[in-house]
Amino acid sequence: MKDLVPQEVIENKIYLIRGHKVMLSTQLAKLYGVKVKVLIQAVKRNIERFPDDFMFQLTWEEAQFSRSQFVTLNNMERGANIKYLPYAFTEQGVAMLSSVLHSKRAIQVNIVIMRAFVKLRQILSTHKELVHKLNELERKFEKHDTEIQSIFEAIRQLMAPPPALPKRRIGFHP
């Protein structure tokens, strides 16, 4: 059961839509081994468990964009018309799906999906830390750059030939 769905496959199915990391209903249905219609019916029968921050339906524009970006959805492949707008489930929405889909496969797939979301969150956290450290280094080197520039300027001044003193004329001067 552990090798039911490789975590890498799930990580590739997490998208950023409307500022949320989500998985689409068409892909979730495939992972759970059910038809999209069955998944959506289970959700609609328990709609009180899926507030707007757990699940939302894509607009036609988002669906067209996702179709051109992801091109992996069964009913969204090139040449196929979109019959129904897919739903996007946030991490909490995916967790809630396990309470409305009661198969062993759904439970096991949900565990792998939750681990994928956690791993993604850890990667993003590490990324933020790296950006912060890089910004810190940049600020340090900016300070060093100005100091180094002033050192080079001082060296240039030392290397410059001394200003020529006016030559005194030889001989008698009235």
Cα gap 63→110, rounded to integer Å = 24
Confidence of residue 82 (pLDDT cuts 50, 70, 90): low
In this prediction the pTM is 0.59
Q: Residue range 62-68: average pLDDT?
A: 72
Q: Check residue 74 and give its pLDDT.
A: 47
Q: Check residue 2 and give its pLDDT.
A: 47
Q: Which residue would you say has higher pLDDT here, 95 or 126? A: 95
Q: Return the sign of the alpha-carbon dihedral for residues 87, 93, 94, 100.
A: negative
Q: Which residue would you say has higher pLDDT here, 110 or 68? A: 110
Q: Check residue 43 and give its pLDDT.
A: 92
Question: Which of 57-66, 106-115, 156-165 shows the lowest per-residue confidence on average (mean pLDDT)?
Answer: 156-165
Cα torsion for 123, 126, 132, 134, to the nearest 10°? -90
User: Is the pLDDT assigned to residue 78 strictly greater than 50?
Assistant: no
Domains of the chain in start order, with CATH, are 7-122 (3.10.260)
Q: Check residue 48 and give its pLDDT.
A: 92
Q: Residue range 10-30: average pLDDT?
A: 87
